């Protein structure tokens, strides 16, 4: 099954990412050992010259990883026709034991990559590269994640046999099962919507406060994280019902299909971007006191919070329009 | 506007290249629009084919008519060579040495040239 | 204009000026690169269109086809099995299908003779409805000319034209000859009460699996092909074909990437000196990298755009003329069918990954050598 164009593309991206991640990690070790911005030694000069390249390459890979997540999900959805009983990406991912781990690792890499890119961007603006050590220890942590992700992905693709009987989303997202998916599905629609609404208010409030006070961004990040969980629960528990006009179809992956106007992408892209930006703002706020960043950081934080708020707003607008245009009446 | 200094060469070059990229993007967008606009007609045409498939009880595409495993891949004998891909490379290496006889299949003789087949 | 944007503009202008100094080489590079993209993109667009077409068109195929197997091969189906299958609960109807191949000595083509289900499509005795390719490959002098088929030397069977299927339906019907049941049995010398296979109509698609299980118990020698399996066969055939083409093209992409890496790492003395001078006059390492990124981006995105735009034209305006010989294989009849144009997001993303990434990587990686060297070392 490896001879499918999107799979070939994903494997190529994974191979490139692995190579760069390994090199960056190795380089990161040297930075951690020998980085001393005050020193004028030859070794330090060499390190300084190469950090630029290392960050560019690693940033490039992080961008690829973000795009690869989209391609991975899109491809899983598309391949569902090849397996017996699959209706959407869930069926494909369930073909063997590596499917969902591969997806979760890709999502983890997505968030790690977004945070790293935000750090990198700010670090470049500081004259003495104040975050370099942090950035490269981050790269050192992300590299194993990238490698494991690639390995799991490869195992998943190699294990894909067509005509295998797999399980459909309707069997996974049902309250009758155990596990977190079932918990999410089983949440009462009203509860899920209330929870989402409250989390939305919390995001808006903490966002406004952090914009006005120019601090407390970590609170905003926290609210963003809670909103993310609330949003995923709400999508599984109630928003999917509105999209499908069906009181029992809870799948969060069928949303990505053409029949439903690709509304899943309109939901997930702003949600994931908004969450990543909020977490980025929280992370950056930890360095508010760092010397050379004092001038750039407030501006960067403002922009991040704004961007995150806009993404959350977009998500909210899509949710509202889905509920408004649905023919399904759940309440009243 | 008169009195304006001519643009430096580098700027003009950049503008030209950006214009070329813009033209490329526009062409791609145009193609996407073309695909989108021709969709209703294509769907109508495919619906006509689907109707024929239903009315005649067809199971396969008439793309490769040379042999039964390629004319009806969905119904071909299990385990026939080529079964999973009619245009795949031959099962046997000899396949790459025996080209198609110029005069057609005739009685099914294969050979390297027309003379050989005739003999 | 913000300072960041102004810096990028300056870098782009500088990169272009540098590239213009080696104009011939860079134009050649983009042209070859675009040709590789064109090949991959054509393969992808073509097979994606075929996959879509097959999925839509064959969604009307019978829910279940039952074949008789004898010695591992497809055999005639006794008519009694029709009753057996129709009697299974959940089956809306079962109908024997009559179809067979005929090798035409005159032009070397294979036809598929078939008795259609729909009574409206069944021609009167002695007449036939022709697929689009049959008058074409038999050089019929006028539309509606009768078709003469010879089963062996000295034999001639005449079929009057009762109609003609359109080229728009060519993908499913170009080699079809639709005739009545009596004509079919007489033509092939087929005894009454046998069928090629049986098509089973099932009202509720959820019941297909259970019905197949029941039917397997009743007809242990038969092979059951569901509509889903038919659809999957086609999805697999075309994706696999596309994958093979892409993997083959992968070799040329790889060769191209090696060439690009060689060019970038072997950096001609000129280019090395250029970078040395830039660094000596105060360019930061990042500026050099950004310039190289601009160069790689301009080349690869330019080639990607040119190749993709041309591939769309090739596949949908010129009927994939370059692929037709490969597709036709040894068959005489090749349907003259239009394809539904479609640009697919996932395919485009995959194409971008496959063609642009290797080039960018190949040009970026070697820079670190010069990047980390001292200016005077490179200039020397």
What's the total number of domains in chain C? Answer: 2
- C-beta atoms of C371 and A50 within 8 A: yes
**Short-list A253, A242, A259, A280, CA closest to A116:** A280
At B96, the pLDDT band (50, 70, 90 cuts) reads very low
In a domain, C203, yes or no: no
In a domain, C7, yes or no: yes
Is residue B5 exposed (0-12), middle (13-18) or buried (19+ Cβ within 10 Å)? exposed
Contacts of B73 in chain C (CB under 8 A): 233-234, 237
At A97, the pLDDT band (50, 70, 90 cuts) reads confident
Q: Which of A8-12, A78-82, C135-139 has the lowest mean pLDDT?
A: A78-82
**Short-list C164, C163, C160, CA closest to C183:** C160
B21 vs A55, higher pLDDT: B21
* Mean of pLDDT over chain C: 84
* pLDDT at A227 exceeding the cut of 50: yes
What pLDDT, on a 0 to 100 scale, did the predictor assign at position C177? 92
Q: What is the 3-state secondary structure (H, E, C) of chain C?
A: CCHHHHHHHHHHHHHHHHHHHCHHHHHHHHHHHHHHHHHHHHHHHHHHHHHHHHHHHHHHCCCEEEEEEECCEEECEECHHHHHHHCCCCEEEEEEEEEEEEEECCCCEEEEEEECCCHHHCCCCCEEEECCHHHHHCCCCCCCCCEEECCCCCCCEEEEEEEECCHHHHHHHCCEEECCHHHHHHHHCCCCCEECEEEEEECCHHHHHHHHHHHHHHCCCEEEEEHHHHHHHHHHHHHHHHHHHHHHHHHHHHHHHHHHHHHHHCCCHHHHHHHHHHHHCCCCHHHHHHHHHHHHHHHHHHHHHHHHHHHHHHHHHCCCCCCHHHHHCCCCCCCCCCCCCCCCHHHHHHHHHHHHHHHHHHHHCCHHHHHHCCHHHHHC
Instruction: Tell me the pLDDT tens digit for each residue of C195-239.
Output: 999 999 998 888 888 899 999 999 888 888 888 888 888 887 777
Q: Are residues C170 and C301 in the same domain?
A: no
B13 touches chain C (CB under 8 A): yes
**Chains meeting C at 3+ CB pairs closer than 8 A?**
A, B
Contacts of C23 in chain B (CB under 8 A): none
What pLDDT, on a 0 to 100 scale, did the predictor assign at position B119? 45
Q: Which residue has the tokens 């000319």?
A: C145
Structure tokens at C174: 């170009």
- C-beta atoms of B61 and C73 within 8 A: no
Q: Are residues C356 and C272 in the same domain?
A: yes
Q: Which of residues 141-170 of A touch C (CB under 8 A)?
A: 162-163
What pLDDT, on a 0 to 100 scale, did the predictor assign at position B15? 87
In 3-state terms chain B splits into helix, strand, coil percentages (rounded to 5) of 55, 0, 45
* Mean of pLDDT over chain B: 70
B55 touches chain C (CB under 8 A): yes
SS3 A88: coil
What pLDDT, on a 0 to 100 scale, did the predictor assign at position B83? 46
Partner residue facing C289 (CB), from A6, A10, A53: A53
- C-beta atoms of A81 and C235 within 8 A: yes
Partner residue facing C236 (CB), from A56, A60, A162: A162
Q: Are residues C45 and C86 in the same domain?
A: no
How close is the nearest chain C Cα to the Cα of A52, in Å?
A: 6
* pLDDT at B91 exceeding the cut of 50: no
A283 vs B64, higher pLDDT: A283
CB C107 within 8 A of CB C140: no
Q: Are residues C289 and C363 in the same domain?
A: yes
In a domain, C222, yes or no: no
A317 touches chain C (CB under 8 A): no
What pLDDT, on a 0 to 100 scale, did the predictor assign at position B106? 45
Q: Are residues C92 and C48 in the same domain?
A: no
In a domain, C95, yes or no: yes
In a domain, B82, yes or no: no
What pLDDT, on a 0 to 100 scale, did the predictor assign at position B24? 92
CB A77 within 8 A of CB A253: yes
At B93, the pLDDT band (50, 70, 90 cuts) reads very low
Q: Are residues C359 and C254 in the same domain?
A: yes
Residue of B nearest to C132 (CA): B62
How close is the nearest chain C Cα to the Cα of A66, in Å?
A: 12
* pLDDT at A21 exceeding the cut of 50: yes
What pLDDT, on a 0 to 100 scale, did the predictor assign at position B101? 45
In a domain, C356, yes or no: yes
- The length of chain A, given as a count of residues: 332
Instruction: Tell me the pLDDT tens digit for each residue of A236-245.
Output: 888 888 888 8
A311 touches chain C (CB under 8 A): no
**Short-list B101, B64, B60, CA closest to C326:** B64
What's the whole-number mean pLDDT along residues A2-28? 87
- DSSP string for residues in A112-151: HHHHHHHHHHHHHHSTT-TTHHHHHHHHHHHHHHHHHHHH
B19 touches chain C (CB under 8 A): no
What pLDDT, on a 0 to 100 scale, did the predictor assign at position A235? 86
Listed in sequence order, the residues at least 6 apart from A39 whose beta carbon sits closer than 8 Å to its beta carbon are none
What's the total number of domains in chain B? Answer: 1
What's the whole-number mean pLDDT along residues A289-295? 71
What pLDDT, on a 0 to 100 scale, did the predictor assign at position B114? 53
Q: Are residues C46 and C85 in the same domain?
A: no
Q: Which of C172, C195, C218 is the last residue of a domain?
A: C195
Q: Are residues C265 and C319 in the same domain?
A: yes
Q: How many CB atoms are located within 10 Å of the residue C365 CB?
A: 18
A278 vs C276, higher pLDDT: A278
At B103, the pLDDT band (50, 70, 90 cuts) reads very low
The per-residue pLDDT string of chain C (380 residues; one tens digit each, 9 = 90 and over) reads: 577 788 888 888 888 888 888 788 888 888 988 998 998 899 888 888 888 888 899 988 999 999 988 887 788 999 899 999 998 888 888 999 999 989 888 888 888 999 999 888 899 988 999 988 888 888 888 888 889 998 888 888 999 998 888 888 888 888 899 999 999 999 999 998 899 999 999 988 888 888 999 999 998 888 888 888 888 888 877 777 777 778 777 788 888 777 777 766 655 666 677 777 777 787 777 777 788 888 888 888 999 999 999 999 998 888 888 877 766 666 677 777 788 888 888 888 888 888 888 888 777 766 666 665 655 565 55
Q: Are residues C22 and C116 in the same domain?
A: no
Q: What is the ipTM of this complex?
A: 0.80
Distance CA B42, CA B40 (A): 5
Q: Are residues C53 and C82 in the same domain?
A: no
Q: Which residue has the tokens 């995959």?
A: C350
- C-beta atoms of C169 and B43 within 8 A: no
* pLDDT at B92 exceeding the cut of 60: no
What's the whole-number mean pLDDT along residues A189-195? 84
Domain residue limits at C333: 3-57+233-379
Q: Are residues C375 and C252 in the same domain?
A: yes
Q: How many CB atoms are located within 10 Å of the residue B33 CB?
A: 11
At A178, the pLDDT band (50, 70, 90 cuts) reads low
Q: Which of A4, A9, A60 to mutate to test the interface with C (most CBs of C within 10 A)?
A: A9
Residue of B nearest to C330 (CA): B66
CA-CA-CA-CA torsion sign (A37, A43, A49, A52): negative
In a domain, B26, yes or no: yes
In a domain, B12, yes or no: yes
Is residue B89 exposed (0-12), middle (13-18) or buried (19+ Cβ within 10 Å)? exposed
Residue C70 bridge partners (DSSP)? C73
Distance CA C112, CA B70 (A): 12
- C-beta atoms of C341 and B34 within 8 A: yes
At B77, the pLDDT band (50, 70, 90 cuts) reads low
Instruction: Tell me the pLDDT tens digit for each residue of C91-118.
Output: 888 999 999 989 888 888 888 999 999 8
What pLDDT, on a 0 to 100 scale, did the predictor assign at position B89? 45
Q: Are residues C240 and C374 in the same domain?
A: yes
In a domain, C100, yes or no: yes
SS3 B113: coil
* Mean of pLDDT over chain A: 83
Q: Which of residues 38-67 of A touch C (CB under 8 A)?
A: 46, 49-50, 52-53, 56-57, 60, 64, 67
Q: Which of C195, C220, C246 is the last residue of a domain?
A: C195
What pLDDT, on a 0 to 100 scale, did the predictor assign at position C377? 60
Domain residue limits at B38: 8-58
Q: Which of C195, C222, C246 is the last residue of a domain?
A: C195
CB B49 within 8 A of CB C57: yes
CA atoms within 13 A on the CB side of C151: 9
């Amino acid at each position: 099954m490896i001879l499918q164009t999107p799979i070939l593309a994903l494997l190529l991206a994974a191979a490139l990412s692995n190579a760069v991640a390994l090199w960056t990690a190795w380089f990161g070790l040297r930075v951690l050992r020998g980085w001393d911005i005050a020193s004028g030694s030859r070794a330090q000069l060499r390190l300084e010259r190469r950090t630029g390249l290392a960050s560019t390459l690693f940033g490039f890979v992080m961008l690829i990883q973000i795009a690869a997540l989209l391609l991975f999900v899109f491809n899983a959805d598309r391949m569902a026709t090849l397996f017996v009983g699959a209706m959407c990406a869930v069926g494909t991912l369930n073909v063997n034991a590596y499917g969902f781990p591969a997806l979760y690792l890709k999502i983890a890499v997505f968030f790690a990559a977004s945070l790293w890119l935000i750090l990198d961007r700010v670090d470049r603006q500081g004259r003495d590269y104040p975050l370099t050590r942090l950035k490269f220890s981050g790269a050192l942590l992300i590299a194993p994640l990238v490698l494991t992700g690639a390995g799991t992905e490869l195992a998943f693709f190699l294990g894909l046999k067509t005509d295998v009987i797999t399980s459909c989303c309707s069997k996974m997202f049902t309250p009758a099962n155990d596990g977190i998916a079932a918990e999410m599905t089983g949440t009462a629609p009203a509860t899920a919507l209330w929870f989402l609404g409250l989390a939305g208010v919390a995001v808006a409030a903490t966002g406004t406060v952090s914009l006005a006070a120019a601090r407390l961004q970590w609170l905003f990040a926290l609210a963003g994280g809670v909103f993310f969980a609330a949003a995923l629960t709400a999508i599984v528990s109630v928003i999917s019902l509105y999209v499908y006009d069906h009181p029992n179809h809870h799948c969060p992956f069928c949303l990505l299909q053409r029949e439903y106007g690709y509304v899943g992408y309109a939901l997930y892209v702003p949600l994931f971007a908004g969450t990543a930006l909020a977490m980025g703002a929280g992370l950056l706020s930890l360095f508010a006191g760092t010397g050379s960043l004092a001038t750039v950081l407030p501006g960067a934080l403002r922009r991040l919070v704004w961007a995150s708020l806009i993404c959350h707003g977009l998500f909210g607008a899509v949710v509202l329009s889905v509920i408004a245009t649905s023919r399904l009446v759940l309440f009243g | 506007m008169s009195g304006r200094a001519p643009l430096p060469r580098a700027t003009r070059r950049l503008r030209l290249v950006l214009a070329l990229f813009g033209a490329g993007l526009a062409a791609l967008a145009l193609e996407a629009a073309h695909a989108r606009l021709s969709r209703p007609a294509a769907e109508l045409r495919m619906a006509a084919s689907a109707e024929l498939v239903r009315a005649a009880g067809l199971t396969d595409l008439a793309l490769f008519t040379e042999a039964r495993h390629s004319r009806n891949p969905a119904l071909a004998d299990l385990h026939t060579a080529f079964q999973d891909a009619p245009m795949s490379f031959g099962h046997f290496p000899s396949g790459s040495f025996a080209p198609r006889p110029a005069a057609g299949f005739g009685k099914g003789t294969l050979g390297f040239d027309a003379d050989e087949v005739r003999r | 204009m913000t300072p960041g944007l102004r810096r990028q503009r300056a870098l782009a202008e500088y990169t272009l000026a540098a590239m213009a100094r080696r104009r011939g080489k860079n134009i050649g590079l983009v042209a070859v690169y675009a040709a590789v993209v064109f090949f991959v993109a054509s393969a992808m667009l073509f097979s994606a269109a075929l996959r879509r077409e097959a999925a839509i068109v064959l969604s009307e195929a019978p829910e279940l086809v039952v074949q008789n197997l004898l010695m591992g091969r497809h055999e005639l189906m006794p008519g009694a099995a029709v009753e057996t299958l129709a009697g299974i609960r959940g089956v809306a109807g079962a109908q024997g299908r009559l179809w067979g191949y005929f090798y035409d000595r005159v032009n070397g083509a294979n036809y598929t003779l078939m008795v259609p289900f729909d009574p409206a499509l069944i021609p009167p005795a002695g007449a036939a409805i022709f697929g689009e390719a049959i008058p074409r490959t038999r050089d019929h002098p006028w539309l509606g000319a009768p078709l003469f088929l010879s089963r062996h030397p000295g034999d001639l069977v005449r079929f009057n034209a009762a109609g003609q299927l359109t080229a728009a339906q060519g993908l499913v019907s170009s080699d079809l000859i639709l005739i009545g049941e009596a004509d079919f049995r007489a033509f092939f010398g087929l005894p009454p009460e046998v069928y090629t296979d049986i098509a089973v109509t099932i009202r509720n698609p959820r019941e297909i699996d259970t019905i197949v299980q029941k039917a397997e118990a009743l007809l242990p020698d038969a092979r059951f092909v569901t509509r889903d399996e038919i659809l999957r066969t086609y999805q697999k055939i075309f994706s696999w074909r596309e994958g093979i083409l892409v993997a083959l093209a992968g070799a040329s992409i790889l060769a191209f990437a090696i060439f690009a890496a060689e060019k970038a790492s072997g950096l001609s003395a000129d280019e090395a000196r250029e970078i040395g001078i830039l660094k000596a006059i105060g360019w930061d390492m990042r500026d050099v990298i950004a310039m190289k990124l601009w160069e790689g981006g301009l080349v690869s995105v330019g080639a990607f755009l040119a190749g993709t735009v041309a591939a769309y034209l090739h596949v949908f305006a010129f009927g994939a003329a370059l692929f037709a010989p490969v597709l036709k294989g040894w068959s005489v009849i090749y349907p003259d069918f239009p394809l539904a144009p479609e640009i697919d997001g996932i395919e485009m993303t995959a194409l971008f990954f496959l063609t642009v990434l290797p080039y960018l990587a190949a040009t970026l990686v070697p820079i670190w050598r010069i990047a980390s060297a001292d200016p005077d070392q490179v200039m020397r």
